[in-house]
Amino acid sequence: MPIEKKRVLVVGSGGREHALCWKLAMSPRIEALYCAPGNAGIAQCAVCVPLKATDLNGILEFVRKEQIDITVIGPEAPLAEGLADLLEANGFRVFGPSKQAAQMEASKTFAKEIMAKAGVPTAAHRVFTEQGSAMEYIREVWAKGHASMRMVLKADGLAAGKGVIVAGTLAEAEEAVLNILERKVFGEAGNSLIVEEFLQGEEASFMAVTDGETVLPLATSQDHKAVFDGDQGPNTGGMGAYSPAPVVSDSLFNEVMETIMKPVVKTLAAKGILYKGVLYAGLMIQDGRPKVLEFNCRFGDPEAQPILMRLETDLMEIIEATLDGRLKELHLKWNSRAAVCVVMASEGYPGKYETGKKIKGLDKAAKMPDVQVFHAGTAMKDGKYVTAGGRVLGVTALGDTIPAAIETAYHACSKIHWDGVHYRKDIGQKALKHLNPAAMPTSVPLVGIVMGSKSDLEVMEEARNVLKEFGVSCEMRILSAHRTPELAMEYAKTACERGLKIIIAGAGMAAHLAGAMAAHTTLPIIGVPMANSSLGGLDALLSTVQMPPGVPVACMAIGKAGAKNAAMFAVQILAVSDPVLADRLQLYRKRQLEQVLKQNEAIEGN
């Protein structure tokens, strides 16, 4: 029997919606695909319609005019405003929960009430609408607490993923109360304030599709909310994600389904709320047990990108089964490989940022196998892609392992550039500690940094910092050509078989360390003279550079500048046979040029 093809509209304009359109465009069940409003990247796989996601009446009119069979609502705002209700009331089918069901995200107070009735584990909390009572409560809690305590304060409503503040001091908590309840930094979302205990552990994202009865889990994933590496800086809508999330073991997966996802859907149904669409639980995992941080009423962004990269089942088939109430008949198929998404953002995000920056290198990234660049905030200007948002791109890659996917994703990122681009360099790193060490590629140091004494450490750390910036693994040792000659000789002799490719040797005064290393290995040796004597390092410079023919040592400048250049030279040597490093070096040179141009502009402006 032939498949009846459908006309589909996706509502939204971000990376999640690009991933949805990209996946739906593959389906043989679709006749025509539209996106409102879409973006420059989405235009590659769907017809973009100039309607805001919250223009409910405009969308209804378009659906009616174009005879849209199914509307897929991506972001939370139109769901919370009742777009699904409006379309269904006019006889149109919608993938996405009703306004009442969307309160699971739109009202944290409502979600807490549902969790309490369903017996779902979550953080202890209090709800406030008055500034005075909130201040009194947090001061009382802090008086009873300990010096290292933290507190979580949340705006009740939708705040684009930014309405959560983790306070580490009473002053920070008081400021959060003022921002949310009095200054209305988050608008009407801050009409109510939730004060929660701070949960420690590791976060994970758990999403499922439900038709109101059957709950069908999707692949696990993990988001990265903070804007800077190491989870530092303010929260964002998400700076990257990966799937699967190894922190969610098989037993934990089953526990989440049985104690969180299914009970919530059942509790909603008991209240007369039939939840149809994607239900997302943000989890905190501590000692192998889950607690819910929050619920969302749609696909996560950027979690949708790696999840949809791995999904092999026709997404349109899942959507239709949800609307028909027959999800119990489906068994989802997944690519066994891992996927990693790195969000490339505008400088200044999640604060103020500039737009209209020309994006370069998209064509190069597009040619890479196992890579898909999802557009989040882009536009076309004079036939060129330019930035048009805070989160601009979601560079997503598949790999046989999470480390392999990480490497490919960052290789693709290195090919893309615009003025002020920012992205985290540690997406996916949390997963590595959960992986089987036997299955992990070993991180063998490629560069050995050796120094004559501990007093040289401050200088040689400059070399380590440069190598770290380029993602080059290294090791550091204190070895003296005079005080520990046997150890220095053994280090040099075994360096090659241990996987080292280059040795950087720093020493002062007689400075024989670099030469001693060169005498016992065929690896390249880079010398860094130290200013450890009254001669200011000139003695070490001459000792390092004056090597006999056939035993070369590359000699850098004296001190910290020399240490930095030694590391840069090591990176250049390694980049000859490493295309990823070569790309990073090119990007580094571009940034140097841009800095000089900016400095010249500043001089001319004065």
Tell whether 602 and 484 lie within a shared domain. no
Tell whether 530 and 602 lie within a shared domain. no
Tell whether 593 and 517 lie within a shared domain. no
Residue 90 placed within a domain: yes
Tell whether 541 and 466 lie within a shared domain. yes
Higher pLDDT, 111 or 486: 111
CA distance 258 to 261: 7
Q: What is the mean pLDDT of the chain?
A: 92
Distances (CA, A) of 314 to 206, 380, 587: 20, 30, 38
195-204, 379-388, 437-446: segment of lowest average pLDDT: 437-446
Tell whether 497 and 529 lie within a shared domain. yes
How do residues 126-157 score in pLDDT, each as one tens digit? 999 999 999 999 998 888 876 568 899 999 98
Q: What is the structure's pLDDT at 50?
A: 97
Residue 172 placed within a domain: no
Q: Cβ(40)–Cβ(379) under 8 Å? A: yes
Q: What is the structure's pLDDT at 443?
A: 53
Mean pLDDT of 538-567: 92
CA distance 517 to 348: 46
Tell whether 561 and 460 lie within a shared domain. yes
Residue 532 placed within a domain: yes
Domain housing 482:
447-575
Tell whether 555 and 594 lie within a shared domain. no
Mean pLDDT of 298-317: 97
Mean pLDDT of 373-399: 97
Q: What is the structure's pLDDT at 454?
A: 87
- CATH code assigned at 86: 3.40.50.20
Tell whether 18 and 88 lie within a shared domain. yes
Residue 315 placed within a domain: no
Listed residues 98, 125, 146: the one ending a domain:
98
Least Cα distance to 280 among 204, 349, 224 occurs for 204
Mean pLDDT of 248-266: 96
Q: What is the structure's pLDDT at 407?
A: 87
Q: What is the structure's pLDDT at 438?
A: 44
Is pLDDT above 50 for 241? yes
CA distance 25 to 450: 55
CA distance 100 to 104: 8
Q: What is the structure's pLDDT at 606?
A: 64
How do residues 165-181 score in pLDDT, each as one tens digit? 888 899 999 999 999 99
Q: What is the structure's pLDDT at 432?
A: 82
Is pLDDT above 90 for 79? yes
CA distance 135 to 375: 42
Q: What is the structure's pLDDT at 436?
A: 58
Q: What is the structure's pLDDT at 148?
A: 66
Residue 345 placed within a domain: no
Mean pLDDT of 584-593: 83
Q: What is the structure's pLDDT at 164?
A: 87
Whole-prediction pTM value? 0.73
CB atoms within 10 A of CB 159: 18
Binning pLDDT at 50, 70 and 90, where does residue 379 land? very high
Residue 325 placed within a domain: no
Tell whether 480 and 571 lie within a shared domain. yes
Residue 396 placed within a domain: no
Tell whether 571 and 585 lie within a shared domain. no
Q: b/e per residue, 176-185, with b = 16+ CB within 10 A? A: bbebbbeeeb
Is pLDDT above 50 for 13? yes
Tell whether 483 and 518 lie within a shared domain. yes
Tell whether 451 and 562 lie within a shared domain. yes
Q: What is the structure's pLDDT at 469?
A: 85
Q: What is the structure's pLDDT at 211?
A: 97
Is pLDDT above 60 for 440? no
Reported as half-sphere exposure (CB side, CA atoms, 13 A), residue 177 has a value of: 23
Listed residues 78, 98, 118: the one ending a domain:
98
- CATH code assigned at 531: 3.40.50.1970
Residue 498 placed within a domain: yes
Number of domains in the chain: 3
What percentage of the chain carries pLDDT values higher than 90? 71
245-254, 321-330, 462-471: segment of lowest average pLDDT: 462-471
Is pLDDT above 50 for 441? no
